[in-house]
């Protein structure tokens, strides 16, 4: 069987005749008038898309600032001192409720929640870093008496995060870990 080959030269010739054949019978003045009309439409459509794009950018920017304002209002009220809240911190109460649950999955969740709360507390106290580990590395023992407790709690949290349900978490270890977090929160007067 003979392979079929595409005749590329033929297609280019058709394209050439289409373009130059249509304009060959046209005078120079008629061609420039047609080109001017086409350019006018291209310009008009370009301006219309530009104006629409500008409205989209302005609208998205306004919505972004509104969203950031709402996030700031929402997240700035997460950590309250017990005196201001009128009792125990609600996040810590939730963590203790999880610890009181009888399953290791609830204990894991309590430790992870406590680590998230620690991250928020450290951020509010001005410690720099992307995560809890970096913030604890930037801390000094003089301004942070329970620094070792924070490290002990964070180590267990890392084991849970990396091993998941394969990590054998006992109730005693969960209680001890949350006691470490509790000591840090009491030092910073969060609970």
Question: Could you report the per-residue pLDDT of 24-67, keeping only the tens digit for each?
Answer: 677 788 878 888 999 999 999 999 999 999 999 999 999 999 99
Query: What is d(CA 6, CA 15) in angstroms, rounded to the nearest whole number?
Result: 15
Is pLDDT of 104 > 80? yes
Q: Output the pLDDT for position 83.
A: 47
Pair (95, 177) in one structural domain? yes
Same domain, 70 and 86: no
CA-to-CA dists, residue 60 to 54, 108, 181, angstroms: 10, 39, 41
- CATH code of the domain containing 127: 1.20.120
136 and 46 assigned to the same domain: no
Q: What angle do CA 78, 147, 142 make, to 5 degrees?
A: 105
Q: Is the pLDDT of residue 175 over 50?
A: yes
User: Which residues of the chain form beta strands (DSSP E)?
Assistant: none
Structural domain total, the chain: 2
On whether the CB atoms of residues 111 and 174 are closer than 8 A, the answer is yes
Residues 132 and 67 in one domain: no
Whether residue 132 lies inside any domain: the answer is yes
For residues 95 and 169, membership in a common domain is answered with yes
Query: Comparing C-alpha atoms, which of 190, 109, 93, 120 is closest to residue 157?
Result: 109
Radius of gyration of the CA atoms of the chain, in A: 34
Q: Are 111 and 94 in the same domain? A: yes
Q: Round the average pLDDT of the chain to a whole number and report it.
A: 86
Higher pLDDT, 173 or 89: 173
Residue 140 is part of which domain span? 82-187
- 88 and 181 belong to one structural domain: yes
In a domain, 144, yes or no: yes
Q: For residues 143 and 174, which has the higher predicted lDDT (pLDDT)?
A: 174
């Amino acid at each position: 069987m003979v392979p079929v080959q595409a005749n590329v030269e033929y297609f280019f010739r058709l394209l050439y005749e289409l373009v130059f054949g249509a304009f060959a019978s046209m005078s120079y003045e008629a061609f420039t008038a047609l080109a001017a009309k086409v350019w006018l439409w291209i310009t008009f459509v370009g301006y219309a898309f530009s104006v629409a794009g500008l409205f989209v950018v302005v609208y998205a920017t306004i919505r972004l600032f509104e969203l950031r304002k709402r996030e700031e209002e929402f997240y700035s009220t997460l950590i309250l001192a017990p005196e201001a809240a009128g009792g125990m911190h609600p996040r810590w109460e939730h963590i203790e409720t999880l610890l009181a649950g009888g399953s290791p999955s609830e204990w894991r969740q309590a430790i992870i929640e406590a680590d998230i709360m620690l991250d928020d507390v450290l951020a509010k106290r001005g410690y720099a870093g992307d995560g809890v580990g970096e913030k604890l590395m930037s801390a000094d023992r003089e301004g942070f008496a329970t620094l070792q407790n924070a490290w002990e709690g964070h180590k267990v949290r890392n084991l849970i995060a990396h091993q998941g349900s394969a990590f054998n978490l006992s109730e005693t270890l969960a209680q001890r870990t949350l006691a470490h977090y509790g000591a840090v929160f009491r030092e910073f007067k969060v609970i």
